Structure 1
């Protein structure tokens, strides 16, 4: 894979006890040293206009001023230093680079994966929260839609981070040209992402939330992708599929209770790659969360290995049905006819 990366993103340092540490990127880079075919690309940072296409301009200017004055605690979870503004611009720029690469034909072993930070999917239209200042994947989606040379009419975003991508949902909730899917742990921060949050106005039906109960494992995540997600996105027929790739649903991540294995990320990657192929959509990945350094690094590496030719291994045993009622509710909310018994 091609990995979008910049040392600028290391300079955002919210403190030694903060889980969203520069060591996250260092751990990924160290793990990928052992892998064949890894390429790093540094992209241009986003300018204010590109970010203001999905965020309130006055809010962005307040973040810039906050950082210029030395930063501090924006809220109890979200901290900044002077370098945070440049890191946020760079992280958004890397996400745009990933979208551009995918739309220009990068596929297979050249598939782009942006590993910028700070992450973005909790940043709403006019506020920072949940470690996030700029919604990187939203900026990338809008960037793709706004550039005529890409000829993009519809973008799909699948967010498999364990936390609901409330910022991305907020930005596109009334839009019909972006279909947002969030797979997340029910009841976890920020507490949004119920099944009945499906969009409004022109966006009615283009938000899909799959709130998984604590303890959900690989089987149910695969059923969600192979069932309602594939059915809805096949009908939507996107030109670009962006993956908000957080890895904190791993069973060994310190801040969640979902029970995914490392192998699950290979399986999810494989299924979503097939979906992109079947809908003739360009495919790119954008890093979100993941706070256990070893499992974060291993999980990013297995996504890379999947594009480098490794065949994912199906999980042993059978589903315990923990999320069956959730998946049925999602199908009903989106009027989809899928037989979950076949999954």
Structure 2
């Protein structure tokens, strides 16, 4: 794979006790350094205009001014310093690079993965929250559409619901957004009946899984719910908002996805995109256990190098299967 990485993203200093800290990227870099042939690139920043294409212009300016004044606590969870403005533009620029590379034909060993921070999927149209300032995946999706792409699909497997991505595209039909997340976790959105409105009706899919769901449940959700809808919509671009905080060893969730499970999810996405001739790229979201975050991305790299991930040896639990069945009914699958 090819990875977008910018040193300026380390300058977004949230403090030593904050879970979304620069050591996340350092741990990923160390793990990937063990693999031969891994390539890093430093794409350009996203332009302010690209960010304003999905965010309110006054809000974007308020982030710039907040950082220029030295930053501080935007809210209880979301922290900025002066360098956060540059880091946020670099993180969004990496996501745009991933989308552009994918659409230009990069696949297989060249599949793009943007390693940026701050993450993005909680940032709504006119506000920051949940560690996020600009919605990286949304900026990339809109840039792709503005560049001529005919439809985008976003799969968000972060353990938290990507309320920001849903908010930005909820009434639009050109972006399909699917989220797999833990029931009852921050920010409390993402119920099954949140399916979009207006032109965006049935362009949003939420799978809120019970705590304890793992590899078998996640794999089943992709095969029986997410992929059939994406295939029906036939987008040009498929972006994965790749959070790793559903890992069984992550400190802030109760899900049970294994390191091998993330490799399996990536294999499913790779094979599905190839079979349907859809450009595929990855954008980093959460993941707060440094070791399991790094191991999971390293395993995805190994899958793209030919490793066959271990498949679950049990069926999905009944509760999770029932959720997928309900979604299949909701989306006429």
Q: TM-score, normalised by structure 2?
A: 0.99
- Cα deviation, 1:265-296, whole Å, max 9, x if unaligned, reads 11111111122112211000000000000000
* Residue of structure 2 in register with 1:176 after alignment: 173
* Residue of structure 2 in register with 1:271 after alignment: 268
Q: Distance in 2 between matches of 1:320 and 1:195?
A: 18
* Stretch moving more, 121-130 or 299-308: 299-308
Residues 216-231 of structure 1: pairs in structure 2 closer than 5 A: 216-231=213-228
Question: Does the alignment pair 1:252 with 2:259?
Answer: no
* Residue of structure 2 in register with 1:146 after alignment: 146
* Residue of structure 2 in register with 1:208 after alignment: 205
Residues 43-58 of structure 1: pairs in structure 2 closer than 5 A: 43-58=43-58
* Residue of structure 1 in register with 2:109 after alignment: 109
Secondary structure (helix, strand or coil) at the match of 2:318 reads: coil
Secondary structure (helix, strand or coil) at the match of 1:322 reads: helix
* Residue of structure 1 in register with 2:326 after alignment: 329
* Stretch moving more, 225-234 or 17-26: 225-234
- Cα deviation, 1:179-209, whole Å, max 9, x if unaligned, reads 0000000110000000000000000001000
Q: Distance in 2 between matches of 1:6 and 1:50?
A: 18
Q: Which runs of 5+ in 1 are unaligned?
A: 337-343
Question: Does the alignment pair 1:232 with 2:245?
Answer: no
* Residue of structure 1 in register with 2:72 after alignment: 72
Question: Does the alignment pair 1:285 with 2:312?
Answer: no
Shift of 1:116: 0.4
Shift of 1:327: 1.1
Shift of 1:328: 1.6
Residues 293-308 of structure 1: pairs in structure 2 closer than 5 A: 293-308=290-305
Q: TM-score, normalised by structure 1?
A: 0.96
* Residue of structure 1 in register with 2:35 after alignment: 35
- Cα deviation, 1:133-154, whole Å, max 9, x if unaligned, reads 0000000000001013xxx110
Equivalent residue pairs, number: 333
Q: Distance in 2 between matches of 1:324 and 1:226?
A: 12
* Stretch moving more, 304-313 or 253-262: 304-313
Question: Does the alignment pair 1:310 with 2:310?
Answer: no
Q: Distance in 2 between matches of 1:317 and 1:234?
A: 27
Q: 1:37, 1:308 within 8 Å by CA — same for their partners in 2?
A: no
* Residue of structure 2 in register with 1:63 after alignment: 63
Question: Does the alignment pair 1:88 with 2:92?
Answer: no
Residues 98-137 of structure 1: pairs in structure 2 closer than 5 A: 98-137=98-137
RMSD (CA atoms)? 0.8
Shift of 1:108: 0.3
- Cα deviation, 1:4-53, whole Å, max 9, x if unaligned, reads 00001000011111000000000000111111221000000011100000
Q: Distance in 1 between matches of 2:189 and 2:262?
A: 24
Q: Distance in 1 between matches of 2:117 and 2:97?
A: 14
Q: 1:216, 1:322 within 8 Å by CA — same for their partners in 2?
A: no
Q: 2:55, 2:125 within 8 Å by CA — same for their partners in 1?
A: yes
* Residue of structure 1 in register with 2:25 after alignment: 25
Q: 1:165 aligns with which of 162, 165, 174?
A: 162
Q: Distance in 2 between matches of 1:178 and 1:317?
A: 33
Q: 1:224, 1:327 within 8 Å by CA — same for their partners in 2?
A: yes
* Stretch moving more, 254-263 or 318-327: 318-327
Q: 2:220, 2:316 within 8 Å by CA — same for their partners in 1?
A: no
Q: Which runs of 5+ in 2 are unaligned?
A: none
